[in-house]
Amino acid sequence: MSADVRLRTGALLALGQVRYQLLLLVRSPLGFFVTLVVPVLLLVCLNLLMPEAMTGVPDGVRYTQFLTPAIGAFCLLGAGYVNTLTGMVLAREEGILKRLRGTPLPTWAYLAGRFGSTLVTAVASVTVIIVIAVAFFDVTIVWGAFGYFVGAAGLGVVTFFLLAVAVSTLVPTSDTALPVAYGTMLPLAFISDVFFSSAHAPGWLHDLASILPVAPVARAMEAAFNPATGSWPMPVTGLLATLGWNVVAVVVIAVAFREAPGPVTALRRWRRPPAGGFDAHVS
């Protein structure tokens, strides 16, 4: 089979995976709750309960104008990181990733299908947040900077998806996947201008968040809803930090999926083989 035919076949299989993963999400109450219900609840509750004087938003920007793209960034985390991490670990436990080696579905097509479904989910959830904010909270879309919002959000989806796949190779069981996902995502969200502005936070905390993968994306998305924004709002340092995390995630994924998609192969290097060898204990 020629390379061109293999590529077209892989692309068709990837599209099939997009449909399959979207069906799984629709049928999963937890996935729907994480990607849509939780962000909508946060948008409504924080808008209604948080006094403007306590938000720390830069002068001239209403809290609702800041919170809407911030909750959009939270949607990207839910769709790209939480759902992907938990879904990948569950697929590994159910043997789906192991069976990939015996099917015509290439690993890249499987991951592309998962990313496609993540992208569709992220776009849908962010759109719902923006529509609700514009309709009920008098939020204004800054159309001149909306392209920057789309660019930052696209970078965020890619980054959070790759990090989720990489982290999933280190999570031992599906029972620990959700705690790991939220245990890593929520602290990053709180220090990265999601929910509240960090304009008045200590300098060291601001600098720490800047080298982590969430803050550059969230701050750029929020700046795109600021009428004063007239150029690409992500600084070069933030862009380099985000791309650096992408590179690290790609390396981890390449190593993990070349040997076996899961934490078992990583652990084999660090523990002594049991009596009788691994073949007697690891399926």
pLDDT in tens, 186-207: 999 988 878 776 666 788 888 8
Instruction: Using the predicted structure, report yes or no on whether residue 261 has a pLDDT greater than 60.
Output: no
pLDDT at 3 over 70: no
From CA 144, how far away is CA 3, in angstroms rounded? Answer: 42
Does residue 185 form part of some domain?
A: yes
Residues 66-88, mean pLDDT to the nearest whole number:
92
Residue 4 lies in a domain: no
**Which residue intervals of the chain are DSSP H helices?**
3-26, 29-32, 38-49, 63-76, 83-93, 96-99, 107-136, 146-168, 174-191, 203-210, 214-223, 236-259, 263-268
Tell me, yes or no, whether 215 lies in a domain: yes
Euclidean distance between CA atoms 210 and 241, whole angstroms: 8
Domain that holds residue 100: 10-280
The predicted pLDDT at position 122 comes to 92
Each residue's pLDDT tens digit, 127-171: 999 999 999 988 999 999 999 999 999 999 999 999 999 999 999
Tens digits of residue pLDDT in 79-106: 999 999 998 898 888 887 777 666 666 7
Q: Indicate the average pLDDT of the chain.
A: 81
Share above pLDDT 90 across residues of the chain, in percent, rounded to a whole number? 39
Residue type present at position 224: A
| Bigger pLDDT: 245 vs 32 | 245
For residue 206 the two structure tokens come to 């601001």
Whether residue 1 lies inside any domain: the answer is: no
Q: For residue 3, tell me if it sits in a domain.
A: no
DSSP per position, 54-100: GS-PPTT--HHHHHHHHHHHHHHIIIIIIHHHHHHHHHHHTTHHHHG
pLDDT (0 to 100) of residue 258:
63
Task: Determine the angle formed by the axes of helices 107-136 and 63-76, rounding to 10 degrees.
Answer: 160
The answer to the question of residue 2 being in a domain is: no
111 in a structural domain? yes
Could you give the number of structural domains in the chain?
1
The Cα 165–Cα 175 span in angstroms is: 17
> What is the reported pLDDT for 270?
38
Is residue 5 a part of any domain in this protein?
no
